[in-house]
Amino acid sequence: MLKKSIFCTILLLASSLSVMAEDGSKLWLRFGIKNRAKVICDGCTSSPTVTIARHELEQYYDGKAVKLTIDKSIPSDGGFEISGTRDNRLISAGNETGLLYGTYALLRGDTIKGLNRPVFKLRILNHWDNLDSSIERGYAGTSIFWNKAMSIDTARIREYARANASIGINGTVLNNVNASPKMLSRPYLLKVRQIADILRPYGIRVYLSVNFASPMGLGGLPTADPLNSKVQKWWKKKAKEIYAEIPDFGGFLVKANSEGQPGPGDYKRSHSDGANMLADAVAPFNGTIIWRSFVYGANHKGEDRVKQAVSEFEPCDGKFRSNVILQSKNGPLDFQPREPYAPIFDRMRHTPQIAELQITQEYLGQSNHLVYLAPMWKEFFSFVSPKNLAGIAGVSNIGNDANWCGHHFAQANWYAFGRLAWNPALSSRKIAEEWLMQTFVADESLISMMLRSREACVDYMMPLGLHHIFKFDHHYGPEPDGFKASYPIEWCPVYYHRADNKGIGFDRSTKGSGATAQYREPYRTQYDSITTCPEEYLLWFHHVPWTYRTLSGRNIIEEMQYRYDRGVKEVEDFTAIWQAMRDDIDQQRWNEVNNRLHIQLKDANEWRSTCMDYFNKKKSGLK
């Protein structure tokens, strides 16, 4: 009797544990244990990478045998080929990482015939993690890498590596671009080494963001002037020290002369002077310098902010060392729900470029709003061809929360980033379907909700090309009347919408700030004229009189009302879709998503009422 009740308690405990495990911590890697497959490896060693692949297949593959083969005729870029039948599979690849990628493809049921190769060479996450464990624009808890105790949760970092390898991510920048010089100090470098050792077998190289003034902050030099020989020597020595610990270290990511960060401009030197000095330091070790173009308010103060990257970097084109890559955000402003593409991608003809996408939803409802970002990124690729890019970087949404990303559906954005980095031609629908199948259930209504969610967000936040009317600093919620005399004007919403009693919008045509002139044809001409400018960018490029009629025949304020209403209505629909899924989804995750959808609905309503009230008042000259 006693035995029986102990047995029941154990059963009960086990079942409550399995309910608890539905906290999202497994991400999309929810394979059931099969223990069926016999795995053999042909031509490969028992390296850590192959051991991981073997272990994954032995445990989780639902067929009898898998053979892994290194095939030297396949490029060693991670590409792989899957052939054979379910019970007799063959994964061939040019290198061991390719075998691992093939393993995860097979486990998710992706057995596309022929060679499957990554389109982008660099597929990098950027963590804006601070050494004190906080994360800039992070909405899912604290850093998985850094904390005051300098302790490392190796199991968690291994899970992180596994998740990334499963979608082909091959690089990670471990710290915030607003970087502390301390990052390069000995104790931290030893931690970086420890992390790099965990990530390496998963095919992931480690990079660090560096503070340009580190020779001063850390090295005690009186200057960080890139043309000063002591400074150059300091960086060379530091590079040597890093590579002695981490021989495959990727390189440095640099935010210089931007938002108060130090840079070569402090010494009247150019970005190329600064980048090249660092490039020379890492070149002997095949390291790369990733230099960001996100600058404004430094050398071109007063100029329309969206023009400043081109103004500042075009003169440097052709002057960078071959191991420098320029990294630019997808839009010319700052990760808004919708921006036109950044024209810097048209203008730098001799400099390799990386597109920086933001996975963390700084401006898209953070971890409260369900916004699936694949459609936004695909929109960008329809303007900037992946062929012209050396890689893509994603500002991570990962933190120490049990479910990694705050919102369960935010995991889909991490997933989608990796899948698009591998193949930007994959459709948003296919990725959503894949992710749902592995995470929840690939129900048509959920796919539809995900696919509609980004457009809904644009509608309820900033339709028709409105931008940056967010509340100060935290960027959550609307503040269209935002103005602070003590702030740079580029941080004030009123600077962007320019609404008065005559009209609304920012004139960036040749009659205004002239930003349209930075675009290649046909976009230059198309965006420049109010009649040909696509309506989704109307108020981005034009100041429009209130009497203006959109294609629908509505005047501009009516059109705004229509779109805000549409956005709110969409979120109402999402809550209904989720409600109908109640019996198909575990309780914990259903509840957590449900709560957030209701916050999203409340927020969407707030966006609509705050913005419409304000713009209506502006129109009638009241404010």
User: Which residues are CB-contacts of 403 (< 8 A; sequence separation ≥ 6)?
Assistant: 23, 24, 25, 140, 411, 592
* Tokens of residue 549, six digits: 């009629």
Up-side HSE of residue 63: CA atoms within 13 Å toward CB? 16
Strands of 80-85's sheet in order across: 38-42, 65-70, 88-93, 80-85, 115-116
Cβ proximity to ligand GCW, 37 vs 333, nearer residue: 333
- Centroid of chain to Cα 26: 20
Least Cβ distance, residue 623 to ligand GCW (angstroms): 27
Give the nearest distance from C-beta 211 to ligand GCW in angstroms. Answer: 13
Minimum gap (Å) between residue 380 Cβ and ligand GCW = 16
Residues 6+ apart with CB under 8 A from 351: 313, 316, 317, 318, 320, 324, 325, 326
Q: Which is nearer to ligand GCW, 235 or 335 (CB)?
A: 335
Q: At 18, is the secondary structure helix, strand, or coil?
A: helix
Catalytic residue among 22, 96, 334, 433: 334
Q: Lay out the site mask for ligand GCW across 563-602 (x = CB under 6 A, - = otherwise).
A: ----------------------------------------
Residue 259 Cβ vs ligand GCW, minimum distance, rounded to whole Å:
6
Site for ligand GCW (CB under 6 A): which residue of 117, 127, 137, 619?
137
**Judged by CB under 6 A, does residue 294 bind ligand GCW?**
yes
Regarding 134 and contact with ligand GCW (CB under 6 A), the answer is no
Residue 177 within binding range of ligand GCW, rule CB under 6 A: yes
Please give the backbone phi and psi of residue 122, each rounded to the nearest 5 degrees, phi first.
-105, 120
**Count of residues in contact with ligand GCW, rule CB under 6 A:** 10
**Per CB under 6 A, does 128 bind ligand GCW?**
yes
The reply on whether position 212 binds ligand GCW by CB under 6 A is no
259 catalytically annotated: yes
Residue 276 or 327: the one with the smaller Cβ distance to ligand GCW is: 327
Per-residue contact track with ligand GCW, 252 to 271, x per CB under 6 A? ---x---x------------
Supply the minimum distance, in Å, between the C-beta of residue 215 and ligand GCW.
Answer: 22
Nearer to ligand GCW, 207 or 564 (CB): 207
Three-state secondary structure call for residue 149: coil
Which single residue brings its beta carbon nearest to ligand GCW?
334
Residue 490 interacts with ligand GCW (CB under 6 A): yes or no: no
Interaction with ligand GCW in 321-350: which residues (CB under 6 A)?
334-335
Q: Give the residue with the Cβ less far from ligand GCW, 331 or 465.
A: 331
Which candidate, 545, 538, 541, 445, places its Cα nearest to that of 499? 545
CA angle 410, 416, 422 (to 5 degrees): 155
Both tokens assigned to 319? 């002057």
Name the nearest CA neighbour of 372 among 436, 455, 454.
454
Residue 136 found at the interface with ligand GCW (CB under 6 A):
yes
CA distance 141 to 57: 32
178 lies in the site for ligand GCW, by CB under 6 A: yes
Annotated active-site residue 401? The verdict is no
255 or 619: CB nearest ligand GCW: 255
Instruction: Assess whether 136 carries a catalytic annotation.
Output: no
Q: Which of 81, 96, 362, 507 is catalytic?
A: 362
Residue of 71, 245, 259, 565 marked active site: 259
Residues in contact with 555: Cβ distance below 8 Å, sequence separation at least 6, in sequence order:
546, 547, 548, 549
- Binding of ligand GCW by 70 (CB under 6 A): no
Dist CA 548 CA 286 (whole Å) = 56
- Nearer CB in complex with ligand GCW: 51/311: 311
* Residue 320: other Cβ atoms inside 10 A: 22
d(CA 114, CA 110): 12
Q: Is 159 in the site for ligand GCW (CB under 6 A)?
A: no
User: Of 329, 411, 342, which is closest to residue 374 (Cα–Cα)?
Assistant: 411
Closer residue to ligand GCW in complex, CB, 334/401: 334
Of residues 3-32, those binding ligand GCW (CB under 6 A): none
8 Å CB contact between 150 and 191: yes
For residue 470, state whether it binds ligand GCW (rule: CB under 6 A). no
Q: Look up residue 284 and give its two tokens.
A: 């002997």
Sites of contact with ligand GCW (CB under 6 A) = 128, 136-137, 177-178, 255, 259, 294, 334-335
Catalytic residues: 259, 334, 362
